[in-house]
DNA sequence: CATTTCAGATGACGCTTATCATGTGAAATA
DNA sequence: TATTTCACATGATAAGCGTCATCTGAAATG
């Protein structure tokens, strides 16, 4: 029984990889079933052996895209201050490499404006993934940790700044201007961290 | 000769209004020619008497949407500090009303991620409009004024934060969470302003 | 060996899209 | 009044989309 189910699992993996790439590179409307299946080396008819509808695929692609990327981008907590952490994350996120390789980049940034016009199920999936990323920014991979309200607010603003920054850098035509957008957002990221309520706040 | 040309000008105005609304509410892919012309009270065939292609319409719609909104949102310089100005603009931009009425909202936010995947002409139009908005943030309506590098960088980060913030607030499913995003970004906007290089910097 | 299962292929359906060729009727012009 | 212009309507085209019915062949099962 290994051959059959294993073959299907491999096909599913190729479909997920292809749809996650398409989703990030061409957005929700670009992740069309025919394109994705062709990328996966299959024909469009085979799609419905794996997903019930295009909406299901879109949600799976979003989750799949963020599964690998989150650890890669946000990674572990280091022993630096909260402000330094945000600045370090910004330097890692707001790069020309990230800007120019959307297919491997952040899916939350890729579909930010399209998600707003999607159905409730997709928006819920988007929210879930965003919350996971916010938690990882605050707490690294410590899943059971609970961030402070201040840190969570900072992380929210940091994500808005980063997603907005990478989107603007991609939307703009002039290369020097695009680079300036990235730099300006990196510089601002370090200033986002709230003043600690007490000077002895670690 | 007034009747003919005037009638055409009125039709064009309705097409621009309709396309600007569609662009902001449903994005680039939603601003389809048939929809726009129906909204304008015309049939699709009449479209090519006004525009050469859908791309031309999209650029015109973007410009038209920002023409009225820029003054309404950014308005005049008041006699407060740079930091206070950014905070005041954030409070005006990151509202529930703006979030829930995209058809009348900021077009730069509506098409941010789709613009990145558009052709060079549209990206140039997007850049032009973004630069105008940045200038207005720094200098109000004083067209000939030249902002400092620090203020322009701050304005860039402010726009990224605002566009990212309104996009996330729209993309998310839970209402309380959406409101928290708006609040967190408003709070962060005041912290974006660079430290003045000299303490006597006005 | 005979039968069942089912991932994938083929092809079709109805819908939407951008674009254009042609027709029309009233206004502008002679 | 006769002619020209042209904004708009009608209808067609070709391509794209999501979805599904049907066929296939090989693996799984008895």
One digit per residue, the tens of pLDDT, for chain A of length 202 reads: 568 788 899 999 999 999 999 999 999 999 999 999 999 999 999 999 999 999 999 999 999 999 989 988 887 777 789 999 999 999 999 999 999 999 999 999 999 999 999 999 999 999 999 999 999 999 998 889 999 999 999 999 999 999 999 999 999 999 999 999 999 999 999 999 987 655 444 4
> What's the Å distance between residue B98 CA and nucleotide D23 C1'?
53
pLDDT at res. A164: 98
Residue B4's pLDDT is 77
Task: Name the nt closest to A46 by C-alpha to C1'.
Answer: C8
Contact A100/A25 with Cβ under 8 angstroms? no
B77, part of any domain = yes
pLDDT at position B195, please?
Answer: 77
C9 C1' to A57 CA distance, Å = 21
List of residues 6+ apart from B84 with CB closer than 8 A: B190
To 5 degrees, how large is the angle CA B142–CA B189–CA A152? Answer: 165
Give CA–CA dist B99/A79, Å, rounded.
Answer: 38
The reply to whether B126 touches chain A by the CB within 8 Å rule is: yes
CB contact under 8 A, A173 and B126: yes
In a domain, A199, yes or no: no
Q: Which two tokens stand for residue B129?
A: 């409009």
Q: For residue A201, what pLDDT is reported? A: 42
In this prediction, what percent of chain B has a pLDDT beyond 70? Answer: 96
Q: For the domain that residue A42 is a member of, what is the CATH number?
A: 1.10.357.10
Q: Is residue B200 part of a domain?
A: no
- Count of structural domains within chain A: 1
Mark yes or no for CB contact B168/A112 under 8 Å: yes
Within a 10 A sphere around the Cβ of B14, how many other Cβ atoms? Answer: 15
pLDDT in tens, B12-42: 999 999 999 999 999 999 999 999 999 999 9
Residues 163-202 of A with CB under 8 A from B: 163-165, 167-168, 170-174, 177, 180-181, 183-185, 187-188, 191-194
**Burial class of residue A200 in the structure, from the number of CB atoms within 10 Å of its CB (0-12 exposed, 13-18 middle, 19+ buried):** exposed
> Which residue in A115, A107, A183 sits closest to B102, CA to CA?
A115
Q: Among positive and negative, which fits the CA dihedral B117, B119, B121, B124?
A: positive
Our CA-based measurement puts residue A165 at a distance from the nearest CA of chain B, in whole angstroms, of 5
User: What integer pLDDT is reported at residue B199 of this predicted model?
Assistant: 46
Q: What is the pLDDT of residues B146-198, one digit of tens each?
A: 999 999 999 999 999 999 999 999 999 999 999 999 999 999 999 999 876 55
In a domain, A201, yes or no: no
How much is the pLDDT for A187? 97
Give yes or no for residue B202 having a pLDDT over 50. no
Residue B42 placed within a domain: yes
User: What domain range includes position B50?
Assistant: 2-192
Examine residue B197 and state whether it is found in any structural domain, yes or no. no
Residue B43 burial class via C-beta count within 10 angstroms: exposed 0-12, middle 13-18, buried 19 and up: exposed
Query: Sign of dihedral through CA atoms B50, A117, A108, B136?
Result: positive
Euclidean distance between CA atoms B128 and B143, whole angstroms: 14
Is residue B202 in some structural domain? no
Q: Tell me what pLDDT residue A1 has.
A: 53
């Amino acid at each position: 029984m290994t051959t059959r189910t294993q073959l299907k699992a491999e096909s599913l993996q190729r479909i997920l990889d292809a749809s996650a790439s398409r989703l990030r590179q061409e957005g929700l409307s670009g992740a069309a079933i025919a394109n994705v299946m062709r990328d996966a080396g299959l024909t469009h008819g085979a799609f419905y052996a794996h997903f019930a509808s295009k909406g299901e695929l879109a949600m799976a692609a979003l989750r799949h895209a963020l599964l690998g990327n989150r650890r890669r981008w946000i990674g572990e907590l280091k022993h630096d201050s909260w402000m330094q952490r945000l600045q370090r994350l910004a330097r890692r996120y707001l790069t020309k490499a990230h800007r120019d390789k959307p297919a491997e980049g952040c899916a939350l940034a890729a579909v930010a404006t399209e998600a707003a016009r999607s159905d409730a199920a997709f928006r819920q999936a988007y929210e879930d993934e965003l919350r996971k990323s916010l938690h990882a920014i605050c707490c690294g991979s410590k899943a059971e940790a609970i961030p402070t309200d201040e840190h969570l607010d900072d992380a929210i603003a940091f994500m808005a700044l980063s997603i907005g920054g990478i989107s603007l850098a991609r939307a703009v035509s002039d290369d020097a201007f695009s680079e300036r957008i990235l730099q300006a957002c990196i510089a601002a990221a370090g200033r986002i961290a709230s003043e600690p309520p007490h000077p002895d706040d670690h």
